[in-house]
């Protein structure tokens, strides 16, 4: 008889961000995450110079305003090679740590392929946790947005208020890149 909840059940309610098949892959995943964290508050980063490489954002975003943008492909294109570590996913939102220009950052990216990018209470709560985590670890927060807005229900609006509060309390840089839509309270 199973006493503990399954991995799928814990991920569905947001208790567990990542699951691994074995101890070795768990240790590698942990190493990736730890390598993205600064040594401590007050840690200073070094400039790595300008990257003039064309990452093809026009091709990733496309000309069709109704086509979904693959948030993971966009993150892989924008972030330094192989540094994108997804911490969790809720319909409409990808939550991750990554590096851009050598600097560790927290990332919130729209997933317009899920629910057309509409943000629900679970996605907004997950975003709030990342913003608070980044504030504690002195990591800038980068948001890649393509969202028609927030689900118009009570729990989503409460979660949106919590996210706005976390953003306003955040002592680190909060940067937004609007890839296509940013409508209403999204």
Q: Domains along the chain?
A: 36-182 (3.90.226.10)
Average pLDDT score over residue span 92-107: 88
- Per-residue confidence (pLDDT) for residue 56, from 0 to 100: 67
| 109 contacts: CB under 8 Å, gap ≥ 6 | 71, 72, 74, 75, 93, 94, 96, 143, 144
Give per-residue pLDDT as tens, 52-61.
555 566 676 7
Tell me what pLDDT residue 129 has: 94
Q: Given this model, what pLDDT does residue 125 score?
A: 92
Determine the pLDDT at residue 4.
47
With beta carbons less than 8 A apart as the criterion, state whether 102 and 48 touch: yes
What band does 11 get if pLDDT is binned at 50, 70 and 90?
low
Residue 185, pLDDT > 50, answer yes
- Least confident range of 28-42, 122-136, 167-181: 28-42
The whole-number average pLDDT for the span 14-43 is 62
Q: pLDDT digits over 109-137, tens only?
A: 888 777 777 888 998 999 999 999 999 99
| 156 vs 69, residue with greater confidence | 156
What is the layout of strands, in order, in the sheet containing 141-147?
A: 85-90, 93-100, 103-110, 141-147, 174-182
How much is the mean pLDDT over the chain? 75
| DSSP states of 61-94 | H-S-TTSPP-HHHHHHHHSSTT--EEEEEETTEE
Q: Is 44 helix (H, G, I), strand (E, B) or coil?
A: coil
pLDDT tops 50 at residue 89: yes
Question: What is the per-residue pLDDT across 146-173, written as a single tens digit (0 to 9) for each?
Answer: 777 788 888 989 999 999 999 889 888 8
Could you tell me whether strands 85-90 and 93-100 are parallel, antiparallel, or unpaired per DSSP bridges?
Answer: antiparallel
Total count of residues recorded for the chain: 186
Q: How confident is the model at residue 40 (pLDDT cuts 50, 70, 90)?
A: low
Rounded percentage of the chain residues whose pLDDT exceeds 70: 65
**Residue where the block lists tokens 């995450």:** 33
């Amino acid at each position: 008889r199973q006493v503990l909840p399954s991995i799928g059940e814990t991920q569905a309610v947001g208790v567990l961000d990542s699951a691994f098949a074995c101890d070795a892959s768990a240790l590698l995943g942990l190493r990736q995450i730890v390598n993205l964290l600064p040594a401590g508050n007050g840690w200073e980063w070094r400039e790595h110079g300008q990257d003039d490489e064309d990452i093809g954002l026009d091709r990733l975003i496309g000309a069709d305003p109704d086509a979904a943008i693959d948030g993971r492909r966009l993150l892989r294109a924008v972030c330094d090679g192989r540094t994108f570590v997804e911490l969790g996913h809720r319909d409409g939102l990808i939550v991750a740590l990554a590096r851009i220009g050598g600097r560790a950052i927290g990332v919130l990216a729209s997933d317009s392929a899920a629910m057309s990018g509409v943000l629900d209470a679970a996605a907004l709560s997950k975003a709030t946790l990342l913003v608070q985590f980044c504030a504690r670890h002195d990591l800038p927060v980068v948001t890649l947005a393509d969202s028609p807005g927030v689900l118009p229900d009570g729990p989503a609006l409460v979660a949106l208020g919590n996210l706005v509060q976390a953003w306003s309390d955040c002592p680190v840089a909060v940067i937004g890149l609007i890839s296509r839509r940013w409508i209403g309270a999204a």
